[in-house]
């Protein structure tokens, strides 16, 4: 059941934040996502779920390399070991 919820959260991240988010996290790679306020609202429940389940660590990125003025938030998503236990169960 948890794996299904994780896949739903990844789908939402891929659709609204970064198409490569799921692939990067499943490959044990952190990813930086640049979000507009609208995108952030659409994925905040997914990010909250993944953090609460201790599957990823989400932090404000130090590097704000995107010059797009529409970007309000830059987050770094870091996979945690429990993510692989859930996905491989």
pLDDT tens digits, one per residue of 37-55: 999 999 999 999 999 999 9
For 75, the token pair is 């987050």
CA nearest to 51, candidates 27, 25, 16, 88: 25
What CA–CA distance (Å, rounded) separates 12 from 60?
A: 19
- Does pLDDT of 62 surpass 70? yes
- Model pTM? 0.88
């Amino acid at each position: 059941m948890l794996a299904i919820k994780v896949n739903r959260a990844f789908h939402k991240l891929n659709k609204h934040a970064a198409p490569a988010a799921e692939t990067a996290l499943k490959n044990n790679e952190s990813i930086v996502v640049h979000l507009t306020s609208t995108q952030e609202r659409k994925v905040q429940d997914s990010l909250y779920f993944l953090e609460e389940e201790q599957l990823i660590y989400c932090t404000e990125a130090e590097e704000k390399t995107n010059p797009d003025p529409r970007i309000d938030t830059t987050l770094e998503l870091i996979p945690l070991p429990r993510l692989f236990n859930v996905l491989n169960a």
